[in-house]
A and B are shown apart, each in its own frame.
Chain A
C-alpha cells in the first residue's frame, strides 16, 4: 500500500489549543488532558502536539526534529546536516515506553545554525534557506523526515492516540506558552509517523480538522512559488499558505483570514469602501488560496495562535478565555476539562478568526518552581 505522501488520505479529527497571552509558560499536562477528552474524535492512527517556548536555552538555534527509518538514513542525513549547519547539540528526543505506541522510528533533535557563508553565497534569507533545506530533506532524502524546524518551539507527533503520545514524549516535562494538539481519524491506515499533525515549517505549526476541497487549487498555486507539497495533506498546504501570506506577502492575521476564509461577496458589498477595495483585491489576486470545504484549524507561531473555520463553519470549534489564557478546541468539553469556569465561552462564526497575540513575545516567562525544559543531560 502507498504511504501517505504518495497518496492523499482524507481524515477527520480533534484539535485543541491553549495559550497564555502574557507569555507565561506552563507544562504539557493541560493540553494532554484537553485532547484526551475528545478520544472518540480520533482513531489511534495519529496524534501530536506543538509547543512554543520550550527551548529557552537554545532559542537562537533552529530546533530540527527528525524521524529516521533506520540508522543508515540517520547517518546520511547527519552528514548533509553537518555540511550546511553548525550543530550545537544533537540527541534523541526523550521518550518513555507506552504500550500502545508501536513501530517507533528513530526520533532525534538537532539545534543548528546555518553556516552563514553558505547563505551569503546563494543570496537567500536565513528563513528561505531553512525552508529549502526542509523541502529537500522531505522530498529527496529517503527514510528521513524533518518535521519541526522552528526556533524555541517543537512538534511532537506520531501514530497513536494523542494522549498516549503526550505521555510517550514526556510533555509534562516541557514548559511552553502555547500548546496545540491534534487527534487524527484518517480514513485509511497509513501508519506513518510523518503523516500525523501538527505540520510545521519554521515556527509556524498547523493542526487541522477537515478535508479541504480546494486542495489541488491551493497546491498548484503554491508550487509556483517553490513550495513542494511532499505529503499531499491538507495541513501541509495550509501551513504553506500561512507561510506564503505572512512571510512573503506581509499579511496581518486578519488579512490572512480574509484570504483563507474570505468573506462572502454579499458581506463584502456591505463593507466600507476602503475595506471593500482591499478585500476585493485580496479575493481577486489570491483567490487560489481560498481554502474551501470543511476545516477548523489552529495555527501557532511564536507570536501567538490563530483559530479559523471555513466560511460556512462545516467543522466545529469553540473558544474561551480565562484570565490570560485563550482556549480553542473542537468541543467545549475539551476546554472545560482543563478550565472549569472560563470567563467567556463562544463559538466563533465561520471565517471569523480568533487571534491570540502574545503581548511580549520576546520574554516568555518561565515559572520559578519548575524545571525549564526536558533536555537530556
Chain B
C-alpha cells in the first residue's frame, strides 16, 4: 500500500556547521539520522522524526534545526491538514489513533483568563524575603469539631498528609516512565517535603526508601498491589479516572513489560498490562465506599484515602458522593491532563477544563457544608506557579504536576510517550535510553522546579498581603476574570476585571 502520509517535519542541517561527528545518529532513538557513505555526510529519514529535539540539543555545532514540514496542502478551514492526515493514517492502519501527553487543542486556557490581585495602600504587601511566608498544607479528613479537654487535644485528628509546598507529583507509573524518572521525582518529593505517586505501576523495590513520600495507587488492574505496598505508602489513591482519558482503562504494551516492570506489577514478563475501564468491584458509589473502607481496614485507618476522578460534566455531584463515601482527599484531573498513551479522540474530546470542575466542586461542597471535611487536589495542566496560586484561590488545597515535572526532567513534548522510544530517557524502558536520565541530575532539576515555584508563590502571596497559604484557599476575591462571559464568571465564582 502506498502511504499518503507526508513527514510532519523537515530537518535542516547547516552543512557549513556539520562536521559529520555522528552524535545525532547515536542520539536519535527514532532512527532519523544516518551516515550516507556515498554522499559522505549525515543525512536524515524525515518520516521518522517526531521532533523530540534531542539531536538539536545534543549537536555540538548547533547545525540542526527542525521545522514543521513547509509543504502546504490546499487551505480549507474545515478540512485541516491535521484532520486529513488522521484519516490517511486510519485508512492505512484501521486502528485507533494514539496520542501521548495532554490535550493540545486550541481551546481557551482559562488560567490565562484569570488575573491575580495585589495590595496597594489600604493593606500592605508582605515581603517574603523579610517576613515569614507559610505554605504548609494538610491533606486529609478534618473532624467537624476538635475534641479538646483541659487545653489538650483529646482525640488526634484523622491522618493527614503534611506538605511543605502545595504541589505534589502526579501519578506516573513505572512502566509508563522509567525508574530513573521516578527516582528523580521521589527524591525531589522527599527533599522538598511533598509526595510523588506510584501510578498503577506498583512500587519498585528501590523506591521503598521513599515510602513516606509516596502515594500508592490502587487502580482497576490492581497491578503491584500487596500488603506491604499499601503499608509502605503515606496515602492510598483509588484511581477511578484520568483527565486525558476519562471513562477508559489503560494499556501497557507487553514490550515495555521487562523483568523489573514484571516483578513490580506482579504480571508475567512480556504480557500486556491491561487496566479495565471500570473497577469491576465498583459499579456504583456504595461500592466505592466499600473499597475505601477495605483499604482503611487493611491499613489500620492510618492513611488518608484519595479518590481520583477525571473532570467530567457532572463532577460536582460526583465529588460530593466521593466525599460522602468516605474519601479523605478528592483528586480531580482536568481534560488537559497528561498521559503516556490515550486514544486521540478521547483525549481531545472528553471531559472539561479543570478550572470549571474545581470551581464547581468547591462551590458544591461548600453549599453542602462539607468542604472542610475533605481535601481537594487538582491537576490537568498546571504549567507554572501562577496556575498553582489561581487553583488554590479557586478552592483547591493542592495541585499535582505531571507534565511540568517531566519537562523539568528534560521532556520536550514530542508526545510520543506511547512509542517507548523516549530519547530523553523518561517514557521508555530501553536500558540504553533510560540511562540518559541521570537520576542525580533529574532529582536536582525536579527539586529546583519546586523550589522556584515555591519562591514565586510566596512572592504572589506576599503581594496580596497574605502570609499563609490557607488564607488563599477559596479566596476568590483575589481573582478577576478577563475576557470571559457572564456565565463563565458565574461558574468560576469570580468577578470581572474592573469590578
Contact = CB atoms under 8 A, between A and B. Distances in A.
Interface of A: 8, 10-12, 187, 210-211, 213-217, 220-221, 223-225, 249-252, 254-255, 262, 264-266, 274, 277-278, 281-285, 287-288, 290-294, 311-312, 314
A334 B145 CA distance: 40
A253 to B, nearest CB: 12
B98 to A, nearest CB: 42
- Chief secondary structure at chain B's binding surface: loop
A211 B136 contact: no
B146 A285 contact: yes
A8 B123 CA distance: 14
Question: Interface centre among B152, B153, B369, B464, by most A CB within 10 Å?
Answer: B153
Interface of B: 119, 122-124, 126, 131-132, 134, 136, 138, 142-143, 145-146, 148, 151-153, 156-157, 160, 366, 369-372, 464-468, 470-478
Nearest to A279: B153
A293 B468 contact: no
Contacts of A223: 366
Given A11-B122, A294-B123, A217 B134 contact: no
B471 A214 contact: yes
Contacts of B138: 283-284, 287
Given A215-B477, A249-B145, A285-B143, A290 B468 contact: yes
Contacts of B152: 274, 278
Contact of A220 (B153, B160, B470, B474): B474
B467 A281 contact: no
A219 to B, nearest CB: 9
B397 to A, nearest CB: 9
B315 to A, nearest CB: 19
A292 B146 contact: no
B471 A213 contact: yes
Given A224-B371, A277-B156, A292-B468, A217 B122 contact: no
B470 A283 contact: yes
A314 B464 CA distance: 14
Contacts of B123: 10, 210-211, 213, 293-294
B132 A312 contact: yes
Nearest to A214: B471
Given A211-B465, A213-B465, A217-B473, 12 more contacts: A187-B122, A216-B474, A220-B366, A224-B370, A250-B148, A251-B148, A255-B148, A281-B146, A281-B157, A284-B142, A292-B468, A312-B126
Contacts of A225: 369
Contact of A224 (B157, B366, B472): B366
Given A274-B153, A278-B151, A292-B468, A264 B122 contact: no
A216 B478 contact: yes
A221 B477 CA distance: 14
Contacts of A187: 122
A287 B153 contact: no
11 contacts: A10-B122, A213-B464, A215-B477, A224-B371, A274-B152, A277-B156, A284-B138, A285-B142, A285-B146, A290-B470, A292-B466
A217 B474 CA distance: 5
Nearest to B392: A217
A287 B148 contact: no
A216 B124 CA distance: 17
Contacts of A254: 151
Contacts of B477: 8, 215-216
Given A225-B369, A284-B142, A312-B467, A217 B148 contact: no
B146 A217 contact: no
Nearest to A274: B152
A282 B146 contact: yes
